[in-house]
Amino acid sequence: MAENVTPRVRAPREASVGEVVSVRTLISHPMESGMRRDGDGNVIPRSIINRFVCTFNGEVVVDVTMEPSIATNPYFQFEAKVMESGTFNFTWYDDDGSVYEDSSDITVS
Amino acid sequence: MSLTRREFVGTSLTSAAAFAALPSLSFAATADEAIAAYYRRRGHIGCRDHLDRARNCRERLNTVQIEVSAPGAEEIIMFAAGNPNPNVATFKFGPMSGSQAATTRIRLASEQDVVAIAKMPDGSFLKAVSNVKVTIGGCGG
Amino acid sequence: MTGQTKRVVVAMAALALTASSLAVWADEDADLVVNGEIEMVVRTDAPAHLDGAVRTIYSGWVFRQDDTQAMQMDDFDNPGMLFAEQGQELFNTAMGANGESCASCHTNAEDLTRVRATYPKWDEAHGAVQTVEMQVQECQTESMGMAEAWGQNSQEMLNMTAYIASIGRGQVIDVAIDGPAQATWDAGKEIYYTRYGQLELSCANCHEQNYGNYIRADHLSQGQINGFPTYRLKNARLNGTHNRFRGCIRDTRGETFAIGSDEFIALELYVASRGNGLTVEGPSVRN
């Protein structure tokens, strides 16, 4: 089980109607690939975040299926088009069943 | 690899020429299989190919920042052809997306080709390949 | 392995010959401002004790490629800051027999702002030069009633030292090398100029005489430690100072000292003093 998983998001707090805004996310996670062996030669079991979803007011911005080749401490940057004020919700799904969430509000005028 | 907007637009315009000039690609067999499996899943039969030999020589062994962009794409899938498990990620863009582009950081075990395939709404596919060199940190284990 | 290490030497000789054409100083002039507000000193006049061995001292940041540099310019892009944040949480977490956290005594973390810039430092009570790690261990066993302090290279310690460095970012490094610290400093200096391993290379051979050149594909810096702990893209984790020293000596095919050994404490003091005038950058991003 991954310890100390800390999600971080950065999205603007304000934008104008129809603006395309840049969103960045970073989460601390070892992303154990399942390909490594420990000191005794045993395979360290795979333990990764396998999916990341960002929604805005309930509708999908981006939905990412993640594989072990995503680097430790996964980072994403992408863009959203905002037509109204609302909330970005960010969800990361861990192999071990854990779900990590964060959110960020934006005022659109 | 940085597949810029311009390069991807270029892809559709020059695809025929690019396809003809395509040098033989040497993916690890597993990557070929992974890509074939992806095409099968998406019911794809033939595709317009494009090769983008990037000049990138990045100084990182384990973490390479990659940007993909394919305006209008429904999804973009990425492969690292030289990794034991070549699958990297699939980005599906929803109605709220502001562009069909994303940046992420991936592991690369060695110099290798990174492949991106974009699935377009008309059922066509775009493919781009970028060779990424990674240098080995000289010191400090 | 022998073949590989041989090549290092050959490459260095070749590089030394062609230094002018090969030394890529593309980013020599770049300035480092973190989060658009913390202004770093990445190049400045060498401290007097270097006696002209180098005229200008440079942060390791200067030698990295532009995209690695960029990752350190914004906390959001710097994965090392995730661990500094975890260190901050630890700082406020009760541990040990007395149920105290670091914050119980150090109520204002800002009071620790100068720590990274002034350590290793002479500790009167213990009659020895102490690293930040040793000071934290001392607080844990002597003040907090912890039976066992964190290991010098444990994840907790790396997170904590990253946090302590992060609150001192931008502070000008000024470690004391005279007075009671002098003997330790002398010992560190001697280690710095001693040739180690089958390759018979000293720290100075690489970091004083060949900085700016390429060794294999790696751009050699002055081996400064103002950026520690460093988040290395190579292993995607925080790396402590002594661990890096160990790797460098191992690369000469030499027997290395242990993390936390007297030799490495002395070497850390000496190397830190070679950076007097640069600013604290930890946790920095390196390849």
Structure-token match 């805004």, residue found: A21
Of B102 and A39, the one with more pLDDT? B102
Selection from B80, C42, B47 nearest residue A66 by Cα: B80
Query: What pLDDT is recorded for position B49?
Result: 30
Who wins on pLDDT, A30 or A84?
A84
Tokens linked to B34: 């992974």
Can you give the pLDDT at residue B41? 65
Chain C interface residues (partner A, CB cutoff 8 A)? 76-77, 79, 82-83, 85-86, 236-237
Identify which has the larger pLDDT, C123 or C212.
C123
Query: Span C27-51, mean pLDDT?
Result: 91
A4/C76 Cβ within 8 A = no
- Residues from chain A that touch C83, judged by Cβ atoms under 8 A, are 28
Q: What is the pLDDT of residue C28?
A: 62
Whether C139 is catalytic: no
Mean pLDDT in chain C? Answer: 87
- Banded model confidence at residue B28, pLDDT cuts 50, 70, 90: very low
Pick from A32, A73, A100 the residue to mutate for testing the C interface (most C CBs within 10 Å).
A73
Verdict on whether the full-model pTM lies above 0.90: no
Residue C13 has pLDDT above 70, yes or no: no
Give the rounded distance of the alpha carbon of C200 from its chain centre.
Answer: 23
Note the pLDDT of residue C25: 36
Mean pLDDT of C83-93: 94
Candidate from A20, A56, A70 with C-beta closest to B106: A70
Report CB contact under 8 Å: B140, C65: no
Residue of B130 and C37 predicted with greater confidence:
C37
Contacts for A92 with CB less than 8 Å, ≥ 6 apart: A5, A7, A27, A29, A49, A51, A52, A74, A99, A100, A101
Distance of CA C217 to the CA centre of its chain: 22
Over the stretch C247-278, which tens digit does the pLDDT of each residue have?
A: 999 888 888 899 999 999 999 999 999 999 99
CA distances from C192 to A20, A38, C98 (A): 53, 34, 42
Cα C64 from Cα B57, distance rounded (Å): 13
Instruction: List chain C residues with CB under 8 Å of B138.
Output: 8, 215-218, 220, 251
Q: For residue C86, which residues of chain A lie inside 8 Å, CB to CB?
A: 4, 6, 28
- Chain B residues touching chain A at CB-CB below 8 Å: 62-65, 80, 83-99, 101-107
- Kindly indicate the confidence band of residue A2, based on its pLDDT and cuts at 50, 70 and 90: low
pLDDT bracket for residue B66 (50, 70, 90): confident
Given a cut of 60, whether residue C20 has pLDDT beyond it is no
Cβ-proximal residues to A15 (8 Å cutoff; 6+ apart), any chain:
A21, A82, A106, A107, A108
Q: What is the pLDDT of residues B12-26, one digit of tens each?
A: 222 222 222 223 333
User: The complex's ipTM?
Assistant: 0.93
Nearest-angstrom CA–CA distance, C115 and C100: 21
Q: Do B136 and C216 touch (CB under 8 A)?
A: yes
Distance (Å) from the C-alpha of residue C236 to the closest C-alpha of chain A? 6
Rounded distance, CA C260 to CA C266, Å?
10
> Could you tell me the pLDDT band of residue C45, with boundaries at 50, 70 and 90?
very high
**Which pair of tokens denotes residue C158?**
């790396």
Find the CB nearest C233 among B60, B138, B140: B60
Contact C185, C270 (CB under 8 A): yes
Contact B98 A20 (CB under 8 A): yes
Determine which of A40-49, B94-103, C229-238 has the lowest per-residue pLDDT on average: A40-49
Question: Are C234 and B62 within 8 A, CB to CB?
Answer: yes
Contact at CB, A73 and C76, closer than 8 angstroms:
no
